[in-house]
Chain A
Amino acid sequence: MRLAVLLSGGKDSLYSCWKAMESDEVVCFVTIQSHNPESYMFHTPNIDLTRLQAEAAEIPLIEWQTEGLEEIELDDLEAAVKEAVRQYGVEGVVTGAIQSVYQAARVQRICNHLHLWSFNPLWLCDQENYLRDLIENRFEVIIAGVFSAPFDDTWLGRTIDHHFVDQLISIRDRYGISLTGEGGEYESFVCDAPFFTRRIAITDSCRAYKNHNGSFLISGAELVAK
Chain B
Amino acid sequence: MIAILDCTRQDLPLLKREFVSPVVSIVERSGHQAMILPLATTEVPVNLQGVILTGTALMDDHYLLHGIPEWLMKWTGPVLGICAGMQLIVIAGGGIVIPSEKIGMTEIMVTSDEEIFSGKERFNAWELHQSGVMPTESMKILARSEAGVQAVRCADRPWYGVLFHPEVRNEWIIINFLEICSQHPHNNYDLEIQWRHPNSQKLLKSRL
Residues of A within 8 A of B (CB): 1, 19-20, 22-24, 94, 99, 101, 105, 108-109, 111-112, 115-126
Q: Does B168 contact A (CB under 8 A)?
A: yes
Query: A19–B104 contact, CB under 8 A?
Result: no
- Within 8 Å by CB of A105, from B14, B59, B103, lies B103
A119 cross-chain contacts in B, Cβ below 8 A: 14-15, 18, 57
What CA separation (Å) do A109 and B127 show in the bound complex? 12
Q: Is the pair B101, A112 in contact by a Cβ cutoff of 8 Å?
A: yes
Q: Assuming the A-B contacts A101-B168, A105-B103, A124-B168, are A118 and B12 also in contact, with contact meaning beta carbons closer than 8 angstroms in the complex?
A: no
Q: Report if A121-B12 is in contact (Cβ < 8 Å); known contacts: A111-B58, A112-B58.
A: no
* Complexed CA–CA distance, A145 and B15 (Å): 31
Within 8 A of A (CB), among B50-65: 57-59
- B residues with a Cβ closer than 8 A to A are 12-15, 17-18, 21-22, 25, 57-59, 101, 103-105, 126, 128, 167-169
A110 to chain B, nearest CB (A): 10
B18, A123: Cβ atoms under 8 Å? Answer: yes
Nearest Cβ in chain B — how far from A153, in angstroms? 34
Q: Are B58 and A124 in contact (CB under 8 A)?
A: no
* Contact A20 to B168, CB < 8 A, known contacts A108-B103, A112-B103, A115-B59: no
9 A-B pairs with CB atoms under 8 Å apart are: A20-B14, A23-B12, A105-B105, A111-B59, A112-B58, A118-B57, A119-B14, A121-B18, A124-B21
The 3 A-B pairs of least Cβ separation, nearest first, read A124-B22, A105-B104, A123-B18
Query: In the assembled complex, which residues on chain B have CB atoms less than 8 Å from the CB atom of A108?
Result: 58, 103, 128
Across-interface contacts of B59 in A (CB, < 8 A): 111-112, 115-118
B12–A1 contact, CB under 8 A?
Answer: yes
Contacts known (A23-B13, A105-B104); A124 close to B167, Cβ less than 8 A: yes
* Known contacts A108-B128, A109-B103; A24/B14 CB under 8 A: yes
Contact flag A126-B57 (CB < 8 Å), given A24-B14, A101-B104, A101-B105:
no
Q: Nearest Cβ in chain B — how far from A5, in angstroms?
A: 12
Residue numbers in B under 8 Å from A126 (CB-CB):
25
CA distance A109 to B101 in the complex (A): 10
Q: Distance (Å) between the CB of B56 and the closest chain A CB?
A: 11
The residue of chain A having its C-beta at the shortest distance from the C-beta of B15 within the complex is A119
Closest to B17 in A: A121
- Chain A residue numbers with a CB within 8 Å of B15 are 119
Indicate if the CB atoms of A125 and B103 lie closer than 8 Å: no
Q: Contacts A101-B126, A101-B169, A126-B25 given: A120-B103 contact, CB under 8 Å?
A: no
B18's partner among A22, A111, A120 (CB-CB below 8 A) is A120
Question: Chain B residues with Cβ under 8 A from A101's Cβ?
Answer: 104-105, 126, 168-169
CB of B50, distance to nearest CB on chain A (Å):
20
Question: Measured between C-beta atoms, what is the minimum distance from B142 to chain A in Å?
Answer: 23
B residues less than 8 Å from A124 (CB atoms): 18, 21-22, 25, 167-168
- Residues in A whose Cβ lies below 8 Å from that of B167: 124
Distance from A70 Cβ to chain B, minimum over Cβ atoms (Å): 16
Q: Can you name the residue of chain B whose Cβ is closest to the Cβ of A109?
A: B103
Q: How far is the CB of B59 from chain A (nearest CB, A)?
A: 5
Q: A116 to B58, alpha carbons, bound, how many Å?
A: 9
- With A101-B169, A112-B103, A124-B167 already in contact, the answer to whether A19 and B58 are too (CB < 8 A) is no
Are A121 and B128 in contact, CB atoms less than 8 angstroms apart? no
The CA of A111 and the CA of B18, in the complex, are separated in Å by 16
Closest chain A residue to B127 by CB distance?
A105
A residues near B168, Cβ cutoff 8 Å: 99, 101, 124
